[in-house]
Chains A and B, each alone.
Chain A
Amino acid sequence: MLKFRTRRRAGAVFIAVTLAAVPALPVRAADTEVNIENFTFAPEELTVKAGTVIVFRNRDDIPHTVNGTKGEFHSKALDTDESFSFTFANPGTYEYFCGLHPQMTGRVVVTP
């Protein structure tokens, strides 16, 4: 299952970040959800702390994908109620879109 795999990776990233850079900071990678509904990503723009896992969940009766415009991440086609999780480990701005309906776009801003 994709979800478990990405979560494990989230843990690994978490440990790496804590050991290397910010050992004292009590970072907790709280899940944050982006709903895919009515052919839109909601919220369309989301600001999170580095290390946050974002879960994209499709609520439409039509499949959607979640693709980073620079190829940073790429979900499979998500059928109704399926989800895709990605850990935003590094600060930056991530633009993404649906590969099937490219008019659907969203943005994640990751702060340190």
Chain B
Amino acid sequence: MSNDDTSKGIDRRGALECMIWAGTGVIWTLSGGMPKSSQLLGTGPAQAAEKVATGFSFLQISDSHVGFNKPANPDALGTLKEAIAKVSDLPARPAFMIHTGDITHLSKPGQFDDAEKVIGEAKLDVHYVPGEHDLIDEDNGKAYLDRFGKNTKGGGWYSFDAGGVHFIGLVNVANLKAGGMGSLGDEQLAWLADDLKGKPTSTPVVVFAHIPLWTISADWGWGTEDSARALTLLTRFGSVTVLNGHIHQLMQKVEGNVTFHTARSTAFPQPAPGTAPAPGPMLVPAEKLRGLLGITSVEVHHGKGALAITDTPLATS
């Protein structure tokens, strides 16, 4: 981050991360690619969250792991139901939903069925990208692509436009190489370059994929080895928001015009990098679990190029 970011005594990212780790609902605003302090931070009237007419909002859910029944959460389908029930509590009805992967735990047909049934109760269009847990059927992802691969390219990537925003769903969990992390691959990157060609730089872009497109922990494989090539294609856009899952916890970073954000899981939490021997499910006391699971909603403010992201836990503990 540049020096002027720290001029207020606490740098914005630090403050935001503190809030995030406190597990509160976090609201922050992005204007022309630069973050502004949120209303909740209370750092002055000039930085109060802008009250603008809401264009539309969409919802992100992630890592539902339907079929998971281990001690960290014996009923992942149950907490997915709770997450979907939260949709009706949102102040504005989302236009649609994105699911950033690990829909199921083991890619079994019954797990996909259960997930679709519960997610369908929100009565929203859902745009999926796969997690690595969704491609482990005997046919290496056929089960996922048969269900969700219509109108997608290659291994399941695609783009669409909604409310003046260009949405890009990427797949970074297929054909992973020994010793590496997530991977997009040449074919997908070529498609991305073509997809962005001719798009005005004023178009807000939202990119979503399962594994983070920034390296959070190489040791734990929490990153995408060729993400820099994708981000290079996105640098000319004024507002880029990258939404990921996989790490089952909130984390964010702002780099230039790009905001990276990871959503909570609806199934089980995972440890912060370096705080445990491995990145597996984190067992927490039952009464704490729902404070670590949740959903994310994103508001698009028309005419501002601004997105506001709100993370809502299933319960405050």
Interface residues of A (CB under 8 A from B): 38-40, 60-63, 65, 67, 69, 76-77, 79-80, 95-97, 99-103, 105
Q: Can you report 30 A-B residue pairs in the complex whose CB atoms are below 8 A from each other? A: A38-B278, A39-B220, A39-B278, A39-B279, A60-B278, A60-B280, A61-B70, A61-B72, A62-B280, A63-B105, A63-B136, A65-B136, A67-B178, A77-B136, A79-B106, A80-B70, A99-B176, A100-B132, A100-B176, A101-B132, A101-B221, A102-B176, A102-B178, A102-B179, A102-B180, A102-B221, A103-B180, A103-B181, A103-B218, A103-B220
Contacts A39-B278, A61-B281; A103 near B72 (Cβ below 8 A)? no
Interface pair B136/A100, CB less than 8 Å apart: yes
Main SS at interface, chain A: loop
Q: Which residues of A have CB within 8 Å of B138? A: 76
> Is B194 interfacial (CB 8 A cutoff)?
no
Interface pair B136/A97, CB less than 8 Å apart: no
The residue in chain B whose Cβ has the minimal distance to the Cβ of A104 is B221
Q: Bound state CA distance, A38 and B278, in angstroms? A: 5
Interface residues of B (CB under 8 A from A): 70-72, 105-107, 132-133, 136, 138, 176-181, 218-221, 277-281
Q: Which of B106, B278, B281 has the most CB of A within 10 A?
A: B278
Which residue of B71, B106, B177, B279 contacts A77 across the interface (Cβ within 8 Å)? B106
Contacts A38-B278, A102-B181; A63 near B221 (Cβ below 8 A)? no
| Minimum Cβ distance to chain A for residue B230 (Å) | 19
Q: Bound state CA distance, A63 and B221, in angstroms? A: 15
Contacts A63-B136, A102-B221; A38 near B179 (Cβ below 8 A)? no
Q: Which residues of A have CB within 8 Å of B72? A: 61
Q: Which residues of A have CB within 8 Å of B176? A: 99-100, 102
Main SS at interface, chain B: loop
| Minimum Cβ distance to chain A for residue B299 (Å) | 34
| Closest A-B pairs by Cβ, 9 of them | A97-B178, A38-B278, A77-B136, A103-B221, A39-B278, A61-B70, A102-B176, A100-B132, A38-B277
Q: Which residues of A have CB within 8 Å of B280? A: 38-39, 60-62
The residue in chain A whose Cβ has the minimal distance to the Cβ of B219 is A103
Q: Which residues of B have CB within 8 Å of A63? A: 105-106, 133, 136
Q: Which residues of A have CB within 8 Å of B220? A: 39, 103
Which residue of B71, B177, B180, B221 contacts A61 across the interface (Cβ within 8 Å)? B71
The residue in chain B whose Cβ has the minimal distance to the Cβ of A80 is B70
Q: Bound state CA distance, A3 and B217, in angstroms? A: 35
Q: Bound state CA distance, A99 and B107, in angstroms? A: 15
Q: Which residues of B have CB within 8 Å of A67? A: 178
| Minimum Cβ distance to chain B for residue A22 (Å) | 32
Interface pair B179/A103, CB less than 8 Å apart: yes
The residue in chain A whose Cβ has the minimal distance to the Cβ of B137 is A77
| Minimum Cβ distance to chain B for residue A79 (Å) | 6
Q: Which of A69, A80, A97, A100 has the most CB of B within 10 A?
A: A100
Q: Which residues of A have CB within 8 Å of B279? A: 39
Q: Which residues of A have CB within 8 Å of B281? A: 61-62
Q: Which residues of B have CB within 8 Å of A101? A: 132, 221
Interface pair A102/B218, CB less than 8 Å apart: no
Q: Bound state CA distance, A16 and B281, in angstroms? A: 45
Which residue of B71, B177, B278 contacts A102 across the interface (Cβ within 8 Å)? B177
Q: Which residues of B have CB within 8 Å of A100? A: 132-133, 136, 176
Q: Bound state CA distance, A18 and B255, in angstroms? A: 63
| Minimum Cβ distance to chain B for residue A83 (Å) | 16
| Minimum Cβ distance to chain A for residue B218 (Å) | 7
Q: Bound state CA distance, A97 and B70, in angstroms? A: 24
Q: Which residues of B have CB within 8 Å of A76? A: 136, 138
Q: Which residues of A have CB within 8 Å of B277? A: 38
Q: Bound state CA distance, A96 and B136, in angstroms? A: 18
Q: Which residues of A have CB within 8 Å of B70? A: 61, 80
| Minimum Cβ distance to chain A for residue B41 (Å) | 36
| Minimum Cβ distance to chain B for residue A106 (Å) | 10
